[in-house]
Copies of this chain bind each other. A is one copy, B any other.
Amino acid sequence: MQKSLSVYDSDGSTFAPLVVIELVSETKEEAIAWLLNRVRDKQQDGGAELLVEQLTPGAQGTEKDNPNVYVVGASWQRLLYGAEDVGLFKEFNDGSMRGFTYANKHNFKEFQGDGDGFLSMAECQYIIKHELDNLRAKDEAHVPGYPKMKLYPGKSVIRRMQSKGILVQVFPLHEKEELKRLSFSWFKKIKLSFQPLDDIRHYFGEGMALYFGFLEYFTLALIPMALIGIPYYLFDWEDYDKFTVFAGFNLVWCTVILELWKRLSASLAYGWGTLSRKKAFEEPRPGFHGVLGVNPVTGRAEPLYSNAKRQLRIYLVSVPFVLLCLYLSLYVMMIYFDMEGWALMIHDEEPTFWTGLLLFIPSIIYAVVIEIMNLIYRYAAEFLTGWENHRLESTFQNHLVLKVLVFNFFNCFASLFYIAFVMQDMVLLRQSLATLLITSQILNQIMEAFLPYWLQRRRNKKAHKRMIKTMEDKELPLSEQVKLEADMSTYLGTFDDYLELFLLFGYVSLFSCVYPLAAVLVVLNNVTEVYSDAFKMCKVFKRPFSEPAANIGVWQLAFEAMSVIAVVTNCALIGMSPKVKSYFPESETQLILWVVGFEHFLLASKFILTFVIPDVPKHIQIKLSRLEFESLEALKKRKMLEASGIPKTAK
């Protein structure tokens, strides 16, 4: 890692600043001094052993600037020990991926000299974040100067200061040079190529790289569907025969691509060293509160919150709230159908071009309303899940995802289900699907990238008018860069991005056989999505801390659930096609029984397929089991030596 900017630490030696800590400007001196000492203290004394300095305001520093901004770095040796601490996997000399250990460092492939350049900046920042989070109170009863900010032995200092609001933010710095290179290879050159996943992972971490990998994979997987869809649309193949073929294709497609993605993601994660990495022990999330007690697992003092109370909150408040929202969504849907009927009535009275256009207005309004409802619900769900007071970030996320998914699925698709299976109006279904899809895509692109960018530009213009101009050509001083980045919006994780893909996947897999152009639209959307997401990561948001991830987690499950629902809807659509109906002229019962039988067969095959296709490709399985075998053998050898040694001395 080469870093042009550097800071002098208290000994007078320089260090590369990696992470910024911002405290509120009125923080008491004694709290700051205490925090900095704890960060600098040696590990044996319970410190984090990091380097930290106050940011010296630059030439353009004004009175209004917050003076309590600190940059944190660490010596190379400290970072390498930290890499072992967090359990980083790196490529070994023999080409396998192994957990890095300091003692063994020279046997790792890319380790040269004193290890400068062995860790990427994103990894260093992740290590520093880990070490800061693990800085724990010793015998302090409270944060010095703040008697109300209680501490107890083992409480994470940073988390307590964050939850009490003296710590404004902790964020990693961008790396101008590398960011420029990454932006160029990623979205600035207009060239059809795969995304530079390894570079993305290098700069933003595995979680982000997996998102972009999945986005790309999903887009590529849609291409065959889009290609089949185009002639359907162009030649206006409206006969239901071909439509059945398309539904059948849909079925196979959505099962197969999800299975293959699992394998691909395992390959990627293996190459990045996250596949076999052990999960670290999970700490309570910052917002978690409760009565101080003893954690039965760690034996540490920790707030406890009774599970019964949480269940009560979930079942007595959250579940009824979600049901109420679903009811509201149904109500809005009914208003939409009223509007639809009203527009149709006007068009029937005066069938002109303008009234024909009017036919699309209800769908567009409905699409906009859906987006707004999704947005509001998103905040409500977050508040509610926070209030449920989950101990771990992962359970918090699971409950949030579940709440949001159920509502969004219902909100987006309920009207389509109603049109398809209750009204059985294929023309309206097609029109409604098209309007919903296109409107939501346009809204999303605006909300997601252009709005934040525009907001930020406006903010920047006010605050750093002069700087923006010079930013492009010459190197900014560190203090200015830090201030600039501190003002950027915070990226809130891949949740919303995955959610968007999930809904698009729904549009394509559930009903696209009635509107084959859906796949084409989604492909086009995804292509622009790649660019706008890349743009927002590089230009709009603060750099996020890299998040090690071995797979896309709960989203794999969500997509699989969607593909199961897709089997059901596609079978039903096939059963409703006149062509299929004509095979059973005399008995509708026979038809339904056949369709249901076929559907059960497909579902069964789907589950068997999921079971039969191994989730990890063979060659990676072999590599993993070789590592495991070697460590078993090493253990055995060590034991054997002990066994042959000890009896002799015992005699």
Does A193 count as interface, using CB distance less than 8 angstroms?
no
Q: Say yes or no: A639 contacts B297, CB within 8 Å.
A: no
Closest to A82 in B: B643
Closest chain-B Cβ to A288's Cβ sits at a distance in Å of: 17
Q: Which of B592, B629, B643, B647 contacts A592 (CB 8 A)?
A: B592
Closest chain-B Cβ to A115's Cβ sits at a distance in Å of: 13
Provide the bound-state CA to CA distance between A632 and B282, in Å: 12
Q: Say yes or no: B626 contacts A297, CB within 8 Å.
A: yes
Q: Say yes or no: B297 contacts A77, CB within 8 Å.
A: no
Does A593 count as interface, using CB distance less than 8 angstroms?
yes
Does A44 count as interface, using CB distance less than 8 angstroms?
yes
Closest chain-B Cβ to A418's Cβ sits at a distance in Å of: 15
Decide yes or no: A636 and B85 within 8 Å by CB, A589-B588, A626-B297 being known contacts.
yes
Does A644 count as interface, using CB distance less than 8 angstroms?
yes
Closest chain-B Cβ to A292's Cβ sits at a distance in Å of: 19
Return chain B residues, CB-CB under 8 Å to A588. 589
Q: Which of B44, B596, B626 contacts A640 (CB 8 A)?
A: B44
Closest chain-B Cβ to A346's Cβ sits at a distance in Å of: 35
Q: Say yes or no: A646 contacts B102, CB within 8 Å.
A: yes
Closest chain-B Cβ to A462's Cβ sits at a distance in Å of: 48
Return chain B residues, CB-CB under 8 Å to A298. 626, 629
Does A568 count as interface, using CB distance less than 8 angstroms?
yes
Does A133 count as interface, using CB distance less than 8 angstroms?
no
Return chain B residues, CB-CB under 8 Å to A622. 296-297
Within the oligomer, what is the number of copies of this chain? 2
Return chain B residues, CB-CB under 8 Å to A281. 628-629, 632
Closest to A421 in B: B593
Q: Say yes or no: B629 contacts A44, CB within 8 Å.
A: no
Closest to A296 in B: B622
Proximity string of chain A (487-525) to chain B, C-beta cutoff 8 Å, 1 when within and 0 when not: 000000000000000000000000000000000000000
Does A22 count as interface, using CB distance less than 8 angstroms?
no
Return chain B residues, CB-CB under 8 Å to A600. 568
Within 8 A of B (CB), among A248-294: 281
Provide the bound-state CA to CA distance between A592 and B588, in Å: 10
Q: Say yes or no: A103 contacts B625, CB within 8 Å.
A: no
Q: Say yes or no: B297 contacts A625, CB within 8 Å.
A: yes
Does A535 count as interface, using CB distance less than 8 angstroms?
no
Closest to A603 in B: B603
Provide the bound-state CA to CA distance between A628 and B279, in Å: 11
Does A336 count as interface, using CB distance less than 8 angstroms?
no
Q: Which of B297, B629, B646 contacts A297 (CB 8 A)?
A: B629
Within 8 A of B (CB), among A38-85: 42-44, 77, 81, 84-85
Closest to A650 in B: B77
Q: Say yes or no: B44 contacts A644, CB within 8 Å.
A: yes
Decide yes or no: A642 and B77 within 8 Å by CB, A592-B596, A600-B568 being known contacts.
no
Within 8 A of B (CB), among A606-651: 622, 625-626, 628-629, 632, 636, 639-640, 642-644, 646-647
Provide the bound-state CA to CA distance between A597 and B564, in Å: 15
Q: Say yes or no: B639 contacts A84, CB within 8 Å.
A: yes
Closest chain-B Cβ to A156's Cβ sits at a distance in Å of: 15
Provide the bound-state CA to CA distance between A596 and B642, in Å: 65
Provide the bound-state CA to CA distance between A642 and B85, in Å: 12
Q: Say yes or no: A640 contacts B43, CB within 8 Å.
A: yes
Q: Which of B77, B626, B636, B644 contacts A647 (CB 8 A)?
A: B77
7 A-B pairs whose Cβ atoms sit less than 8 Å apart in the complex: A42-B644, A77-B647, A85-B639, A281-B632, A589-B589, A592-B592, A596-B596
